[in-house]
Amino acid sequence: MIETLTFPEPYKLDRAPAGRPGVNRERILDCAAALVAGGDLSALTCAALARMLRIRPPSLYRHFDSLEKVRDGLAIRALTELTDLSRAAISGRAGRCAVEALADAQRVYAHAHPGMYEVAVRGPTGFSVESAKAMQAYQAVELAALRAYGLPNDEAPRLARCLRASIWGFISIELRDPWAKPLEVDEGFDRLIDLLDAGARAAEVFQPVGLKLAVRTP
Q: Are 1 and 104 in contact (CB under 8 A)?
A: yes
pLDDT at position 9 is 54
- Tell me how many helices (H) and strands (E) the chain has: 8, 0
Structural domains in the chain, CATH included, are 7-201 (1.10.357.10)
Q: How many whole angstroms separate alpha carbon 197 and alpha carbon 141? A: 16
Condensed to tens digits (0 to 9), the pLDDT of residues 42-93 reads: 999 999 999 999 999 999 989 999 999 999 999 999 999 999 999 999 999 9
Q: Are 55 and 90 in contact (CB under 8 A)?
A: no
Decide: pTM greater than 0.85: no
Query: At residue 189, does pLDDT exceed 80?
Result: yes
**Which residues fall within 8 angstroms of residue 117, CB to CB, at 6 or more apart?**
78, 82, 106, 109, 110, 171, 175
| Sign of torsion over alpha carbons 24, 29, 30, 35 | positive
**Angle in degrees, CA 63, 68, 70, rounded to 5:** 40
pLDDT band, very low/low/confident/very high, at 8 (cuts 50, 70, 90): low
pLDDT at position 211 is 42
**Which residues fall within 8 angstroms of residue 215, CB to CB, at 6 or more apart?**
none
Condensed to tens digits (0 to 9), the pLDDT of residues 114-158 reads: 999 999 999 888 788 999 999 999 999 999 999 999 988 888 999
Strands (E), 128-216: none
Q: How many whole angstroms separate alpha carbon 158 and alpha carbon 56? A: 47
